[in-house]
Structure 1
Amino acid sequence: MAAPLLVAENVSKTFRMGSVDVPALRDVSVALEAGELVALTGPSGSGKSTLLSIFSGLARPTAGRVCIQGADLSDMAEAERSAFLAGTCGYIFQSFNLIDVLSAQENVELPLWEVPISRSERRARAVEMLEKVGLGTRLNHRPAQLSGGQQQRVSIARALVRRPKILFADEPTANLDAQASEQIMALIQELNTANACLCIVSTHDPDIVAYTSRKIRLLDGRVVA
């Protein structure tokens, strides 16, 4: 059996609020496989966004460790960890995080600027991803010229353009209506199946959870189911 793609061991996270320590995660351990579509669920304040940030290397745990492909993120220097994560992981944010002055194509090209490929290859890969998410006719549109659902599709294309092994999505449909949410989750599900990547979605929406194959429920910073 292949080793898990992502392993968290006894992960805890505590935030300092003035003179008070506030625990956000308490001794979380989990192993996730390639090809899984995982939901991190729980009420507001349960720790799911914090756990996603630690899984994805955007935050460091106070205690415990996270390993991706057997590599311990805490053992890496900052530059080494950033380069490793950029080549391994893709990120979808609920706020889209698109650059207003760039076109859809230029936004999707951004992660490829650190990849040693030609300008024509960079453009071709961006166009290919935008076509896969149904925006092949919106290449030159800026974010303000796109609907919320279309902006999230650009965000997904940008997350996938480097062909990551792991896709992290933090409340990816929170700013979308029901129809756009269904379309986005169906797209994530399709790409998960086609590429066999590990997809981890943080959400409180039971309709979104229904698309996933595995659920991890958090309460007060602990895994309860």
Structure 2
Amino acid sequence: MALFDPTILQSGEYHDWLVQGFILSIQLTVISFAFALPFGALVAVMRTSTSRLLRAVGTTLVESIRNVPLLAHLLFWYFAFPELLPEGLREILYANNPEVVCAVIALTLYSGVHMAEDIRSGIRAVPATQLEAARSLGLGRAAAVRLVLLPQALRASVPPLLSQTVNLWKDTSVATVIGAAEMMYQAARVETASFRSLEAFTFATLAYLTVSLLISAAAYLFQRRYPVRTAA
């Protein structure tokens, strides 16, 4: 008997499980990124604000979230957070795939604060004269930040943000601990049902590797096409 029999993954129920897990992992990554990026940008702006209160709030968010393991975040949002909700909201949550909802919340917050630090570095890389020029044209500070500072900061932050996206993609695997039916959950399910651990976990490993390399390649190509130029 061959050590690796790929036919078990090419047809039938087990193949469907793995494909469903892969699709959910992609969905978790995309949805979490869509929420994490604006959250990270907001926190980065708070961290670089002239207001002491906003800087304090931004710093508190970053330090309190990134210094707690992702696993603890997932367990908190899945087991503890629903208990804090009114009964009506709790029932709505439990009726709408709570594992995925709580995984998205945890991944969004955890990735968002790491993205915030990358964006904050991008903001610092933008010459102060850019903001001053925008203000001299009559823009208020909020408008100058939104229309002038942030677009340049985000462009400078693209390579590290793509690296954070790779981390986000890999971190979706931790959602298996709360029962989200992502790729690692489905690979373990296939292994339990068929005892074909080699095929199941090889599929998962190659899927994680392939997507990670594609995102890393996108970061490399962007950096080659749009190199970051620092002000003299």
What band does the TM-score fall into relative to the shorter chain? under 0.3
Give the TM-score taking structure 2 as reference length. 0.22
- The alignment's TM-score, normalised by the length of structure 1, stands at 0.22
User: More strand by proportion, 1 or 2?
Assistant: 1
- Higher relative helix content: 2
Instruction: Please say which structure displays the higher CA radius of gyration.
Output: 2
